[in-house]
Chains A and B, each alone.
Chain A
């Protein structure tokens, strides 16, 4: 193997910096302490009134405030804090030598803005969009226009961290964070730049966002003990719990990282992806696309299924996801999967949606670094149809060399990543 190339002759992609923000805290240290202690960040929602809602809990990040308080501003702030931490750790400087790939929630104008326009319209009878449209032309509302454009968060992060070229804002629903990493890996492998800043961020827990998931019956309604509600792989699991957060990874060609004396935290060995055309929210019943995505990631990494030491699960806690994920893993890893540890961070931080793939990538790499696997908490009633070692309730020391991290999303999105402590020789 030529130096710093993988088996296919492509540049090896190293991770040299990571940052993370979740309901458990800001930064890798606080998050890792809480995660390995089995602490939950899920709580009763305080951010907006919960009257009349079926689900009243979430893993919102309540210790960060922004002005104006809205999803794009909050998402931008999470991204900026995670990126600051990652870039400081990488020691790569203020002039970032590569592009930005950022998974951002698909935002739109929110109720406070809509209500303000309705008031400004002066309409005293029934309000229609004609009134809002008229009001949109009154006064200088350019900052609102900018706030709710899809490309704004990326531009602001680019200005702050000096990333190069045209930043990519993306969404692949609940696999977005993994897709951001995948795009960065591909760019480095193409030799476009020696580095990439990959971010997933999501601060979109608002009443309407929660209600939309609620109306699709995707959310847990076990509100009474919030920290117990997210129960991936348990028999009594009843849906996911929305979470918020952001994570950033500095990816770098190994050659570039070594040349500048950077500490390599791990490698992104492989990425795999497969679309599913079965249904808008449900997986193909035969699990073929999930299986294909897992297989593709493992093959792209140049390893075999036997090399996987730990699976960082998508593990949302919906009846459907956990069953299909388990089935897909059993198919690809075979009987051995029954003894390969697998855990879901979502049992503690909830489902951070657009950010999840990136947040969980950071946690996967921390498991490698610490030789410790965070648990799946709230695992009290195992599901007999899921014959997996879910690292129930208590963290476990283990030598972790290779991690498979899964992300699956609405719209038939399946993206899997393989991380390693060392390159594959």
Chain B
């Protein structure tokens, strides 16, 4: 089976820094300051989504009503990627297009939960009370805003992307595996074009609660992700969505599409959680994707104490003197969307001529490691 070249023919990004890859890039390069909200969920800062007119990508009000914010962010970013790839109006290509989404789950009805928890305290029969309240107070369609695969479902409904559709779960590593499998399928001829990405809504207390239980959240004024491990570590969640159009070079050339970078190799692993294991895993993945000495690094480092410390030390050994940019410093942690976001930015940096090659890293806050190597798209097939 002859391996095919995979190129990036579109990218859609929406973060606290704004709409579009350029806005994300400005934040990544430090040209604009990170945007933070310290008050809404104090003491937890979040990077809130920028102001968005969702109607620009999701024209039907009935669709908007059926979605919670995490889905709107994702469907919006997917639409940007389709626009960027020049495919928004190509109904027949979209009906054959594969979709791989990395997703968590959707928002709960916070008010209803609070009322139920308050009532449960006094309830004579707590089980019966819970049933009664859930039956009468939960909005029937809320389930469809919560199911993990319904981001993909909404992309199918709103944008008409209706080929193969898979949703991967598992925090940061879901984003890594989504890109890895999309790349592998295109290389092997199992697909020609794959829309891949994810989204995350940081502005929801249930997510903050989950990560706070793990002791994972940063509760001080903003500091660079590399400076956090020494102060206990932690991440600041960010709202946003990131989608990529990955395509076989021959498919892109056939339709006259421009492309920003080539996806050379994706490698991923999940090592046992032991001191030093993340660093060893990165070293092994680094030799698998084999970047050259001029590679720029776009790191998805979370700020989680040990694993971020290990990542930085490994990068300093593997790529001494390399320029290392951290997406966490630009717009916080998009969780399932962080790896696709890093790739969108790295591809743009390559297209701008900032580097001939880039490596994007992901070391999940709890588990999983992944690397991708991108290079200039105008270089010939391997």
Contacts and interface: CB of A to CB of B under 8 A. Distances in A.
Interface of A: 9, 48-54, 104, 106-109, 111, 114-115, 117-118, 125-130, 132-133, 136-137, 140-142, 144-146, 148-152, 154-155, 158-159, 165-173, 179, 183, 186-187, 189-192, 207-208, 211-216, 273-281, 289, 409-413
Contact of B160 (A9, A137, A169, A277): A277
B171 A151 contact: yes
Contact of B156 (A149, A154, A191, A412): A412
B132 A172 contact: no
Interface in B107-138: 108, 110, 113-115, 117-118, 120-121, 125, 127-128, 130-132, 134-135, 138
Nearest to A186: B190
B147 A411 contact: yes
Interface residues of B, number: 85
Contact of B113 (A50, A114, A149): A114
A142 B305 CA distance: 14
Interface in B307-338: none
A129 B209 contact: yes
B272 interface: yes
Interface stretch (B291-299, B347-355, B363-371): B363-371
Given A150-B170, A150-B174, A169-B168, A280 B144 contact: yes
Contact of A171 (B1, B149, B206): B149
Nearest to A135: B209
Contacts of A151: 169-171, 173-174, 364, 366-368
Determine which residue in A141, A216, A277 has the highest number of CB atoms from chain B within 10 A of its CB, and name it: A277
Determine which residue in B153, B173, B210, B368 has the highest number of CB atoms from chain A within 10 A of its CB, and name it: B153
B150 A166 contact: no
B165 A289 contact: no
Contact of B212 (A130, A136, A152, A172): A136
Nearest to A217: B140
30 contacts: A49-B127, A52-B131, A109-B209, A117-B209, A126-B118, A130-B205, A145-B210, A145-B366, A150-B174, A151-B366, A155-B270, A159-B272, A166-B177, A166-B180, A166-B269, A168-B170, A169-B174, A172-B165, A172-B167, A186-B190, A187-B184, A211-B138, A216-B140, A275-B164, A280-B144, A280-B154, A281-B144, A410-B150, A411-B149, A413-B149
Given A215-B140, A280-B150, 17 more contacts: A49-B128, A50-B131, A106-B149, A127-B114, A133-B41, A145-B210, A145-B211, A151-B169, A151-B364, A151-B367, A155-B270, A171-B103, A207-B130, A216-B143, A281-B144, A409-B149, A411-B153
A160 to B, nearest CB: 12
Contacts of A149: 170-171, 210, 366
Contact of A165 (B115, B190, B216, B270): B270
B140 A146 contact: no
A185 to B, nearest CB: 10
B186 to A, nearest CB: 11
Contact of B165 (A49, A280, A413): A413
Contacts of B269: 165-166
Nearest to A281: B144
A150 B135 contact: no
Contacts of A171: 103, 147-149, 167, 169
Contacts of B156: 275-277, 411-412
A115 B190 CA distance: 47
Given A129-B206, A207-B134, A410 B213 contact: no
A213 B146 CA distance: 12
A129 B110 contact: yes
Given A136-B212, A277-B160, A280-B150, A51 B188 contact: no
Interface of B: 1, 41, 44, 66, 99, 103-105, 108, 110, 113-115, 117-118, 120-121, 125, 127-128, 130-132, 134-135, 138, 140-144, 146-150, 152-154, 156-171, 173-174, 176-177, 180-181, 184-185, 188, 190, 205-206, 208-216, 268-270, 272, 364, 366-368, 370
Nearest to B209: A136
B368 A166 contact: yes
B53 to A, nearest CB: 23
Given A114-B117, A169-B174, A150 B104 contact: yes
B132 A52 contact: yes
Contacts of B205: 129-130, 132-133
B110 A166 contact: no
Determine which residue in A140, A159, A187, A190 has the highest number of CB atoms from chain B within 10 A of its CB, and name it: A190
A248 to B, nearest CB: 18
Contacts of A141: 213-214
Contacts of B128: 49, 51-52
Nearest to A165: B269
B213 A173 contact: no
A207 B120 contact: no
B104 A158 contact: no
Contact of B268 (A104, A114, A166, A273): A166
Contacts of A126: 114-115, 118
A52 B159 CA distance: 40
A289 to B, nearest CB: 7
Determine which residue in A117, A149, A165, A189 has the highest number of CB atoms from chain B within 10 A of its CB, and name it: A149
B130 A106 contact: no
A277 B63 CA distance: 12
A279 B140 contact: no
A110 B159 CA distance: 33
Contacts of B268: 165-166
Contacts of B177: 166, 168
A207 B131 contact: yes
Contacts of A50: 131
A194 B88 CA distance: 39
